[in-house]
A and B are shown apart, each in its own frame.
Chain A
Amino acid sequence: DTGVSQNPRHKITKRGQNVTFRCDPISEHNRLYWYRQTLGQGPEFLTYFQNEAQLEKSRLLSDRFSAERPKGSFSTLEIQRTEQGDSAMYLCASTTGTETQYFGPGTRLLVL
């Protein structure tokens, strides 16, 4: 399957710990997006890369959040000093120059 993959699928951590998620986009997709989704809500945009350049960051992305896409392929999203409010599904999507975004299965984070 050449779809978007995300790892881990589930993560449970204690408040104050750091976590890192990985997203592998569809091969040759140059745009990669991160979203956060809480229960009963739609996905909320966090940040977006074109190749290795981070071009847009939402105001939702606090200083504790950092994302990278070092070689323009996979991306990582790190959350430092996690808080209970960070508990959510973190979704990654990729696309070429078209508007259609292809989403991965998400990483579900639970902060205790």
Chain B
Amino acid sequence: SQKIEQNSEALNIQEGKTATLTCNYTNYSPAYLQWYRQDPGRGPVFLLLIRENEKEKRKERLKVTFDTTLKQSLFHITASQPADSATYLCALGGEGGGADGLTFGKGTHLIIQP
């Protein structure tokens, strides 16, 4: 069955450092991978999308990599700030070219300490 694994425990990072979150998947051939941010009691907010033929994407302090051979994505937040504290969700989609719903990981709870 399809499986997505993210850092299973909370990740504590000191302010100003780079936070790196991991998303690994099995039994899936996504056309794209997305990262979302979710704050407590709120819906996920889209951050970045990377396609299967892309290696890296950047947006401001965010960077995502995608290795379809390793079946892994890394999500980096540089110069981290306490306001970056949230749960970050990895989501896969587009398998078989369909427009079906996204398959999400459990998320990584990121805490940026001042």
- Chain A positions within 8 Å of B, measured between CB atoms, are 4, 31, 33, 35, 40-48, 50, 55-56, 58, 91, 93, 99-106, 108
Contacts and interface: CB of A to CB of B under 8 A. Distances in A.
Contacts of B102: 33, 43, 45, 101
A105 B43 contact: yes
Interface centre among A48, A93, A101, A105 (most CB of B within 10 A): A101
Interface residues of B, number: 25
18 contacts: A4-B43, A42-B105, A42-B106, A43-B104, A44-B104, A45-B101, A50-B99, A56-B100, A58-B101, A91-B44, A99-B93, A99-B94, A100-B49, A101-B102, A103-B36, A103-B43, A103-B45, A106-B41
Interface of B: 4, 32, 34, 36, 41-46, 49, 89, 91, 93-94, 98-107
B99 to A, nearest CB: 7
Contacts of A100: 34, 46, 49
Contacts, number: 60
Nearest to A10: B41
A79 B101 CA distance: 20
Nearest to A103: B43
Contact of A48 (B36, B45, B99, B107): B99
Interface centre among B4, B43, B98 (most CB of A within 10 A): B43
Contacts of B106: 40-42
Main secondary structure of the interface of A (DSSP, over half): strand
A98 to B, nearest CB: 9
A33 B20 CA distance: 29
Interface centre among B44, B106, B107 (most CB of A within 10 A): B44
Nearest to B109: A40
Given A99-B34, A100-B49, A45 B43 contact: no
Contact of B44 (A41, A44, A99, A103): A103
Contacts of A101: 46, 102
B42 A105 contact: yes
Given A99-B94, A106-B43, 18 more contacts: A35-B101, A40-B106, A42-B4, A42-B105, A42-B107, A43-B104, A45-B100, A45-B101, A48-B100, A55-B99, A58-B101, A99-B32, A99-B49, A100-B34, A100-B49, A103-B36, A103-B45, A108-B41
